[in-house]
Structure 1
Amino acid sequence: MKKAYQPGDILIFKAEDDFLSRSIAWLTNSDVSHSAMFYTKDSIVETIAPGVVQNRVCTGKGDFAYLLRLTPSKDSAPLIQAAKKYLDAGTQYNFPALLYLGGLLLCRRITPTKRLLSITERIMDAACLELDKLLQRLAKHPENRSMVCSQFVYQVYEDCGEAYRIHIHGALQNGFKQDNMLQETHTIRLLDLQEPAAISLAATKESDLDAVSDVKCVIRDVEEEENLIAQLYQALSSADTENSIAMDSIERDGSFEMVPIVNKFAGKLKKLTQVLGMDAPIDSLFVAPADFVYHAENLENLGEIQIERIR
């Protein structure tokens, strides 16, 4: 590590050995899956179920993470105050795992095999239902609107104004890890399947939200969700470029009804950006840990650090 850590520094944790972490890392073509921020010299703030928490930590042992710092460096006081606002409010984290994975599958490039598209369809349908619930919660509790974005750390820096804003080069891209880089000719971005007419879904009435998703695809318990995420990772990691499905084939044949589910999910996400008052593209909701490490123009990577949470 090049420099000593300080409050306001960003921690980007290496992916753990579970299927959710592995899937996030694979979809962002990286080795990371979680972010946090130093709050004091011996504590961090992060989002875990059910919300924003402060955890005491020690260094020199535990999980490996990249340590990042804004450059040129800024006073950490505004960052600490911004994070404190969420801690004091007991802010809940409103992006369930399947909603986040659905967003990554929509916005990041994938190799579209039949197996992966089938699982993606199920995840996106479940994500649509989660999005319905989220929109309903936002209507009842508008004070929590600012924390529905997928990365708490990104939002904290955003709250501090232009001087603190993290600039991600080229919007949201895949990471630079070369050993599992897929050939561009065999990958697609499902968001590019979206039809202009899908935006009309953004006008969906809140009273209709819970009736939009197919009840057959609801994920009913944690075990079922974990099994679906395991299937996703297995499909991602075993994707065969020779058996991938071309974009025009998906559009022409409606493979696994991907175009309708993409339209539905993208339309609901557009509704979310409207509720949040965001003048930004859909993929801005899905900033990933890899974007901090590999694509942030104004973050300096100070090297690796080991962090252990003290329970």
Structure 2
Amino acid sequence: MHVRDLQAGDVLLFSAEEGSWISKAITWLTDAPVSHAAMTYQIPTKMIEETPPAVRVAEATMRFPGRTVHVMRLNKPIDDFKPVMDVAAQYLNGEAPYATNNLYLLGILLLYKKFTPSDTAQKIIMRILKRLTGRLLNAINQHKYPDKHPMVCSQFVFECYQEAGKAFQLTIRSGNLQSDSTRTSLLHKAFKYKPQTSQIDSLESEQASDEELAKELFEAMNNETLLATGTVADELLEAIHDFAKVLHGVSQQVDLDKADSKQGIAILQAQSSMFVTPGDLLQHCPELRHIGDIKIK
């Protein structure tokens, strides 16, 4: 398939980025071969995506090299995708924030996935959440609040379709994070936990880069002998509450002293049932069909 064969509204799902540990970790957590989602915008060579620092339009040929792009298209005839394009334009004009790049997607996946990570992985997850907490805290301190709750790339594509009207509605069946596992998520465990000592005012500066954190996490998670000890450290649960607190502040446009971790966790829980991963759009969305792949060296 060639870029010129794309149509407005085509869903573009990207294979893991070569050399990116964040991409590797996302594909591992979702058990899917894709780690990023975008959408063809208005003309075949343009695509719109949620990526740092906000929703943006990019040249497709500039974003495709080195990755396999799985192209998905609505499986029923639609003459005009203008409603979907209009929703995307609203997000573009509103500069909907991606929050903190793909590390944010990775962090949310770690909260939602039904598993108990090893002690080693828990310590790395805590460091990732603290980094995300610090970045969201900067948004509060600078009073740069989003118009809507921060979204990840695949959620952005999904919402563009959902908000365009009934004819464009998508559904996710047996999604990547909706398995009937007997395990519970870290978010569920945090909901039952009563926080004791907030670390927000004394967040330590993390020396490792986002990619280095993701590499450490991937290597810890990929060692199956280390998984599922059954116990989640209080320190990690505290970190989840701190993250939820600043997320509540950003989402509700309130200062930190008025933000509440329980309400932040409630926001995350409400979203978890509707959360869409790039893998869901590829493997679990019956309204989309795979029409081909694009590979540009």
- TM-score interval (norm. to shorter): 0.7 to 0.9
1:23 partner SS = helix
Conserved 8 A contact 1:150-1:285? no
Does structure 1 residue 236 correspond to structure 2 residue 214? no
Structure 1 distance, partners of 2:203, 2:92, is 37
1:145 partner SS = coil
Match of 1:107 among 81, 106, 112: 112
2:69 is aligned to 65
Higher relative contact order (CA 8 A, sep 6+): 1
Conserved 8 A contact 2:116-2:229? no
Conserved 8 A contact 1:193-1:262? no
Alpha-carbon distance change, 135 to 165 in structure 1, aligned in 2, over 3 angstroms: farther
TM-aligned CA deviation for residue 58 of structure 1: 4.5
Alpha-carbon distance change, 229 to 239 in structure 1, aligned in 2, over 3 angstroms: same
Conserved 8 A contact 1:43-1:55? yes
Residue type of the partner of 2:233?
S
Structure 2 distance, partners of 1:93, 1:16, is 18
1:288 is aligned to 277
2:295 is aligned to 306
Does structure 1 residue 125 correspond to structure 2 residue 127? no
Percent identity for Structure 1 against Structure 2? 26
Does structure 1 residue 28 correspond to structure 2 residue 10? no
Residue type of the partner of 1:265?
F
Q: What does 1:195-214 correspond to in 2, within 5 Å?
A: 195-196=191-192, 212-213=199-200
Conserved 8 A contact 2:112-2:185? yes
User: 1:179-220: CA deviations, max 9, x gaps?
Assistant: xxxxx67x652123123466x99xxxxxxxxx8526353336
Conserved 8 A contact 1:79-1:156? yes
User: 1:37-65: CA deviations, max 9, x gaps?
Assistant: 11112221123322222222349975311
Does structure 1 residue 169 correspond to structure 2 residue 173? yes
2:24 partner SS = helix
Structure 1 distance, partners of 2:116, 2:269, is 26
Structure 1 distance, partners of 2:93, 2:249, is 28
Conserved 8 A contact 1:147-1:155? no
TM-aligned CA deviation for residue 24 of structure 1: 1.1
Conserved 8 A contact 2:54-2:97? yes
More helix by share: 1
Residue type of the partner of 2:9?
G
RMSD between superposed Cα atoms in Å: 3.7
1:56 is aligned to 59
User: 1:64-102: CA deviations, max 9, x gaps?
Assistant: 111112233433111122222333455543244433322
Output the TM-score relative to the length of structure 2.
0.76
1:258 is aligned to 236
Residue type of the partner of 1:56?
E
Structure 2 distance, partners of 1:134, 1:167, is 32
Say which is worse superposed, 280-289 or 111-120, in terms of deviation: 280-289
Alpha-carbon distance change, 70 to 79 in structure 1, aligned in 2, over 3 angstroms: same
Number of equivalenced pairs: 277
TM-aligned CA deviation for residue 170 of structure 1: 4.0
Alpha-carbon distance change, 307 to 78 in structure 1, aligned in 2, over 3 angstroms: farther
User: 1:119-168: CA deviations, max 9, x gaps?
Assistant: 1121122222233334556xx455x4236211321232233134323212
Structure 1 distance, partners of 2:295, 2:118, is 37
2:89 partner SS = helix
Structure 1 distance, partners of 2:175, 2:269, is 11
What are structure 1's unaligned runs of at least 5 residues?
A: 176-183, 202-210
What are structure 2's unaligned runs of at least 5 residues?
A: 254-263
Conserved 8 A contact 1:10-1:35? yes
1:7 partner SS = coil
Structure 1 distance, partners of 2:274, 2:201, is 24
User: 1:10-55: CA deviations, max 9, x gaps?
Assistant: 0001111211111111111111111111111222112332222222
Alpha-carbon distance change, 153 to 279 in structure 1, aligned in 2, over 3 angstroms: same
